[in-house]
Amino acid sequence: MTIYLIIPDGIEMPLDLREIEDSIEKDLGFPVRRLPIALPGERFYDAKRRQYHSTGILKEFLRNLPLDALKAIGIVSFDLFIPILTFVFGEAQLNGRVAIVSTARLEQAFYGLPSNQPLLHRRLIKEIKHELGHTFGLRHCAQRSCVMSLAANVSDVDIKGLTFCKACEHMLRDNRDDIPR
């Protein structure tokens, strides 16, 4: 079983994806491979909001998963939303197979600040682990240092740690160990 890192065709990823893949493999215990998918973005674009509807993209990812896919997470550079929120850093199917994370609001440039690649990289790893945690059945954690803590803004992303707290790690391990290999 494999966790796929989905990079939609045509999206520039100026990040060290290998380090991200290694971090996911280390914390979640499954091999990670990249999967390019052609994403018809205009179908998910809301011109009024100037954002993309993340739930629709998740459904598209789900339709394109290889048979050996345990989980998959897409990384996109455009801003995401769900109708009840102004924006989301990402979205995941709770106990499901797919998740998505956007780099748009994780970038310093979004806030009119100079680019900071190491900071973007840390933020992205946190949000990827967070959303993949949801696919393994984890909910938001009250412990602010846990990667599963809720992030309502980018400062919240910066405050949380890169790892799961002991309780979330235990739940993750239990849920992960139930998966046939």
Cite the active site residues. 131
For residues 107 and 81, is the Cβ–Cβ distance under 8 A? no
DSSP 103: S
* 160 close to 144: Cβ distance less than 8 angstroms: yes
d(CA 181, CA 49): 42
Neighbour-count burial of 1, counting CB atoms closer than 10 A to its CB (0-12 exposed, 13-18 middle, 19+ buried): exposed
d(CA 125, CA 147): 9
DSSP assignment, residue 149?
B
Sheet holding 51-53, edge to edge: 45-46, 51-53, 80-81
**Which string of DSSP letters, residue by residue, matches 104-148?**
GGGSGGGGT----HHHHHHHHHHHHHHHHHHHTT---BS-TTSTT
